[in-house]
Amino acid sequence: MMGDQKWKIVRPFGVDLCGGVRTHDSLDQTKVDEFMNEAHRLAG
Per-residue confidence (pLDDT) for residue 44, from 0 to 100: 82
pLDDT level of residue 30 (50, 70, 90 thresholds): very high
Instruction: List pLDDT tens digits, range 6-17.
Output: 556 666 667 767
Q: For the chain, what is the mean pLDDT?
A: 77
| 28 φ/ψ angles, rounded to the nearest 5 degrees | -105, 110
Ranges assigned E (strand) in 1-44: 8-10, 14-16, 22-23, 26-27
pLDDT over 70 for what percent of the chain?
64
Q: Where are the domains of the chain?
A: 2-43
Residue partners of 10: CB distance under 8 A and separation at least 6: 16
44 vs 12, which has greater pLDDT?
44
